[in-house]
Amino acid sequence: MALDKNFNIVLIGMPASGKSTMGVLLARYIGFDFVDLDILIQTGEKRSLQEIITEQGMEAFLRMEEEYLIRADYSGFVIAPGGSAVYSARGMAHLAEKGIMVYLKLGLEHLEKRLLSLDARGVVRSPDQDIKALFAGRKPLYEKYADITIECDNLSLDQMVSALKKELSSGIKIIKGEKNE
């Protein structure tokens, strides 16, 4: 599969949906590079996501995350932003300028099995927000930004990559730097 390297594939979805793991596999398959924006934030700030959220608060973290999203100037990459990236319309618009947005959709039941501790992962949420409420709040945002949705329930990583490869080759085509349906 030959894709225009002026574009990126941006994987969006809830924490534990497989963005980073699938991103590495997909990048290898299509010959793109891979970047995990959560790792960039942690490396740049020299702290874990949870430490940043705890020390500076949720709003400060979201502003910081937005700055990292906007500075992301890549071509020919599979990009895995954090699950909270969808809270930034400005950041998402920037990623969408040169990217196909792929929503890795995982149902609540499967998400609860994978995401055992919201705090351990550094998940942006209000103190009283559980997984169910977080999912309900973010799901419409993922759907809003998605060019492609991959239903990930009961799929292995290889099956997720195969489903996305099929969508990329038959759904949205990347031609001369423009997204066409």
Q: What is the DSSP string of 100-114?
A: EEEEEE--HHHHHHH
Residue 1 pLDDT > 70 = no
- Residue 179's pLDDT is what? 43
pLDDT tens for 160-179 read 888 888 888 775 544 323 44
- Give the range among 20-24, 91-95, 114-118, 137-141 with minimum mean pLDDT: 114-118
CATH for 8-165 is: 3.40.50.300
- Closest among 145, 152, 148 to 105, alpha carbons compared: 152
Of the CA atoms within 13 Å of residue 71, those in its CB half-sphere come to: 11
The three-state secondary structure class of 141 is helix
- Residue 107's pLDDT is what? 87
- Residue 103's pLDDT is what? 95
- Residue 122's pLDDT is what? 58
pLDDT tens for 137-147 read 999 999 999 99
- Residue 89's pLDDT is what? 96
Highest mean pLDDT among 80-84, 122-126, 172-176: 80-84
- pTM for the structure as a whole: 0.87
Written as six digits, the tokens of 25 are 């596999």
